């Protein structure tokens, strides 16, 4: 069978069939999944294999080039060259297809991605041409010149290098060009001295923070590649929010900076940054970064500034690129002084027990701010294995805990006893847990508690009544519990400043709001012309176009539209809406609003991370939400006219 395949005519036919199949599949991919569209999860996973397989055609093609150059008059490597061309041809076609799918599922600079895509597709096309001419040469030699197949062979080799350059730029940034610029600058008589300038003129940002971003971050979040719509190559870019809509750097608040939150997640967490497999920030680098953020992320602060604590300053000097020597006399005998010769900042609190607990439980515990002993904890990444035993291990840190998020954890009423020692706890999240009325007793010693989330727990009116012993409680969520509105109103009379949320359309108002409602009406003001009545809707217009799409365009398409596709979800058209996003859950389930992700997310408490629209965006009104639910429960149809829809009176 092998001898039959080795016949030139059979090889040519086989190559033609393989190339035709490749062209057909590639064309189908272009038609079904054009640039900018989402792809099924299976194809997305397949695309992830592109970086692994791309080395096969590269290695085999270059091997064929080397063997052909050293073939000699005896043509010792002729058979090996042919087999390498075949293998590079077949693997090149598969690699090109997987690369296309990877490009659809990633955040890459469009221009660079386009160049990489077309040069990558050109590679199997050129290998196909090289293979055909090589087979033809084997038939006709020595009557034909080697240049017949060497021309496309060498052209293919050059093309694969160009494609590799663009691929490397997508993954790591244009490191070659930037490296050459740095090397030239270092030896330039004009720019060289600036690199070696003394500490007196170097700023923390230019000498430490910016180089740190270059080393650890901008290959994915730089000028060339903006993964998650986030860039970190300039200070201005760092202060902007990416796709998460949370600023990477919040000057003065490291705990509220998304970059720090991602940095402190467990290494195996999908959202940990830098990703597992990339160079991680060292402990010194993290400490310097957090200090700089809490200082206000200043651009002009010099490394020699006396307000910088000695230990932080020493780490900055060791990180500076290249090394910077402290000027003589920069410090007094007792280290840097404050503005009027006072000692430096308050010593950092003991983090040893915090780090020990993090290591033991595989969690992240964050300080509220630099040199602040107060701590915050979120079990979201370990919720499925975080229970009473794990919570009990927080006892050594009890007096330092300011916020605990135990949502979706396995914590029970018995485990809540571990919270009673957290006298300074201000926020407690217990949504989607097995907590009952019995567990409330463990919360009563928390005299500083201001916020309590009991969403979707087993709390009833009996447990709610106990909360009157928490005098500082200002915000309470009891949605989807056994609590009734009369019981909530009774608690409100005991705690007048509290806001009790019982659902998207059911919130017990604050005392201020109640007083305002009961107050006598103010004296009539000068007559103001009434606003013009809204134009009546056309009864012949479809419900979707008249009522539903305008809501999506005004409240959703800013993040899920034609230009921005957060979570790979688009909502600017019905067709895009029904393709869903990357959550794996249907956005709209016709006939079942309760199962539709858009409703599930909209009904979450506003302070939940997954609530949509985000808390800092315009929210759906009660009527808008009710209209969407009615439309979905009615079948989510696009062809039903207003006159035939049976729209409820309260939605008209």
- Give DSSP secondary structure letters for 109-168: -HHHHHHHHHHHHHHHHHHHHHHHHHHHHHHHTTSS-THHHHHHHHHHHHHHHHHHHHHH
Chain segment 586-606, per-residue pLDDT in tens? 899 999 988 898 998 888 877
Q: What is the pLDDT of residue 519?
A: 41
Q: What is the mean pLDDT of residues 315-320?
A: 80
Q: What is the pLDDT of residue 510?
A: 47
Q: What is the mean pLDDT of residues 476-491?
A: 91
Per the CB < 8 A criterion, the answer to whether 244 and 228 are in contact is yes
Per the CB < 8 A criterion, the answer to whether 54 and 95 are in contact is yes
Q: What is the pLDDT of residue 581?
A: 80
The residue with greater pLDDT, 152 or 8, is 152
Spell out a b/e string for 65-76, using b for 16 or more CB atoms within 10 Å of the CB, else e: bebbeeeeeeee
Least confident piece of the model among 16-30, 121-135, 265-279, 389-403: 265-279
The residue with greater pLDDT, 514 or 550, is 550
Least confident piece of the model among 37-51, 276-290, 347-361, 619-633: 37-51
Calculate what percentage of the chain has a pLDDT beyond 70. Answer: 80
Position 330 pLDDT exceeds 70: no
pLDDT level of residue 90 (50, 70, 90 thresholds): very high
Query: What is the sign, positive or negative, of the torsion defined by CA atoms of 17, 18, 24, 27?
Result: negative
Position 188 pLDDT exceeds 80: no
The residue with greater pLDDT, 347 or 615, is 615
Q: What is the pLDDT of residue 27?
A: 93
Dump the DSSP string for 478-515: -TTSB--HHHHHHHHHHSTT-EEE-STT-EEPPHHHHH
pLDDT level of residue 198 (50, 70, 90 thresholds): very low
Per the CB < 8 A criterion, the answer to whether 554 and 618 are in contact is yes
Highest mean pLDDT among 35-49, 203-217, 458-472: 458-472
The residue with greater pLDDT, 388 or 382, is 388
8-state DSSP, 367: E
Tokens linked to 374? 């107060």
pLDDT level of residue 416 (50, 70, 90 thresholds): very high
Q: What is the pLDDT of residue 517?
A: 38
Q: What is the pLDDT of residue 36?
A: 63
Position 651 pLDDT exceeds 50: yes
Chain mean pLDDT for the chain: 80
Element (H, E) at 239: none
Residue 460: beta bridge partners? 482
Element (H, E) at 79: helix 78-104
Chain segment 64-88, per-residue pLDDT in tens? 999 888 876 666 778 888 889 999 9
Chain position carrying tokens 């809540």: 416
Q: What is the mean pLDDT of residues 241-254?
A: 85
8-state DSSP, 398: G
Highest mean pLDDT among 122-126, 516-520, 556-560: 122-126
Element (H, E) at 221: none
Q: What is the pLDDT of residue 445?
A: 94
> What distance in Å separates the CA atoms of residue 223 and residue 231, rounded to the nearest whole number?
7
Per the CB < 8 A criterion, the answer to whether 282 and 395 are in contact is no
The residue with greater pLDDT, 61 or 39, is 61
> What distance in Å separates the CA atoms of residue 572 and residue 567, rounded to the nearest whole number?
14
Least confident piece of the model among 96-105, 260-269, 489-498, 501-510: 501-510
> What distance in Å separates the CA atoms of residue 188 and residue 183, rounded to the nearest whole number?
9
Is 358-518 CATH 3.80.10.10? yes
Spell out a b/e string for 394-413, using b for 16 or more CB atoms within 10 Å of the CB, else e: beebeebbbbbbbbbbbbbb
Q: What is the pLDDT of residue 78?
A: 80
Residues 6+ apart with CB under 8 A from 21: none
Residue 338: C-alpha distances to residues 253, 306, 342, 385 (Å): 21, 6, 5, 47
State yes or no: cis peptide before 194, omega within 30 of 0. no
Q: What is the pLDDT of residue 10?
A: 85
């Amino acid at each position: 069978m092998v001898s039959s395949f080795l016949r030139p005519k059979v090889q040519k036919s086989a190559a033609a069939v393989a190339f035709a199949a490749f062209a057909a599949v590639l064309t189908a991919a272009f038609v079904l999944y054009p640039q900018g569209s989402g792809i099924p999860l299976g194809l997305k996973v397949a695309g992830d294999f592109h970086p692994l397989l791309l080395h096969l055609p590269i290695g085999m093609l270059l091997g064929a080039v080397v063997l052909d150059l050293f073939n000699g008059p005896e043509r010792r490597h002729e058979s090996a060259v042919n087999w390498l061309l075949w293998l590079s041809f077949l693997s090149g076609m598969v690699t090109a297809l997987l690369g296309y799918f990877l490009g659809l599922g990633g955040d890459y600079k469009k221009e660079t991605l386009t160049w990489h895509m077309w040069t990558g597709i050109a590679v199997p096309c050129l290998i196909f041409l090289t293979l055909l001419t090589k087979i033809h040469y084997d038939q006709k030699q020595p009557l034909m010149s080697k240049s017949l197949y060497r021309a496309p062979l060498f052209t293919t080799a050059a093309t694969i290098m160009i494609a590799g350059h663009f691929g490397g730029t997508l993954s790591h940034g244009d490191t070659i060009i930037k490296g050459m610029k740095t090397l030239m600058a270092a030896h330039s008589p004009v720019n060289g001295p600036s690199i070696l300038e003394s500490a007196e003129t170097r700023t923390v940002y230019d000498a430490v923070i910016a180089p740190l971003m270059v080393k650890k971050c901008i290959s994915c979040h730089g000028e060339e590649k903006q993964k998650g719509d986030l860039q970190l190559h300039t200070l201005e870019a760092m202060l902007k929010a990416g796709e998460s809509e949370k600023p990477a750097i919040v000057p003065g608040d490291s705990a509220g900076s998304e970059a720090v939150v991602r940095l402190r997640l467990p290494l195996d967490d999908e959202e940990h940054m830098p990703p597992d497999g990339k160079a991680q920030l060292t402990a010194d680098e993290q400490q310097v970064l957090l200090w700089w953020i809490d200082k206000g992320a200043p651009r002009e602060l010099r490394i020699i500034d006396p307000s910088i604590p000695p230990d932080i300053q020493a780490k900055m000097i060791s990180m500076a690129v290249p090394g910077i020597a402290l000027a003589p006399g920069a410090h007094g005998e007792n280290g840097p002084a404050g503005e009027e010769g006072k000692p430096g900042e308050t010593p950092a609190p003991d983090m040893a027990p915090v780090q020990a607990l993090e290591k033991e439980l595989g969690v992240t515990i964050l300080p509220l701010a630099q040199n602040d002993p107060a701590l915050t904890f979120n079990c979201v990444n370990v919720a499925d294995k975080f229970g009473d035993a794990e919570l009990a291990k927080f006892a050594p840190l009890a007096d330092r805990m300011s916020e605990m998020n135990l949502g979706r954890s396995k914590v029970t009423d018995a485990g809540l006893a571990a919270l009673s020692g957290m006298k300074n706890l201000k926020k407690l999240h217990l949504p989607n847990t097995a907590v009952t009325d019995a567990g409330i007793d463990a919360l009563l010693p928390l005299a500083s508690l201001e916020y309590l989330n009991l969403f979707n727990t087993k709390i009833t009116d009996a447990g709610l009544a106990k909360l009157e012993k928490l005098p500082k409680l200002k915000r309470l969520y009891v949605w989807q519990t056994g609590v009734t509105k009369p019981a909530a109103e009774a608690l409100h009379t005991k705690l007048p400043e509290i806001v009790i949320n019982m659902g998207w359309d059911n919130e017990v108002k604050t005392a201020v709001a109640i007083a305002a409602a009961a107050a006598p009406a103010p004296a009539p003001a000068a007559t103001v012309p009434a606003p013009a009545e809204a134009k009546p809707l056309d009864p012949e217009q479809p419900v979707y176009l008249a009522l539903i799409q305008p809501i999506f365009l005004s409240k959703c398409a800013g993040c899920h539209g034609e230009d921005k596709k957060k979570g790979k979800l688009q909502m600017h058209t019905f067709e895009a809406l029904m393709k869903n996003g990357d959550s794996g859950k249907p956005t709209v389930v016709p006939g079942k609003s309760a199962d539709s992700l858009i409703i599930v997310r909209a009904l979450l408490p506003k302070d939940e991370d997954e609530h949509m629209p985000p808390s800092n965006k315009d929210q759906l009104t009660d009527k808008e939400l009710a209209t969407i639910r009615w439309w979905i429960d009615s079948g989510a149809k696009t062809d039903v006219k207003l006159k035939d829809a049976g729209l409820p009176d309260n939605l008209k």
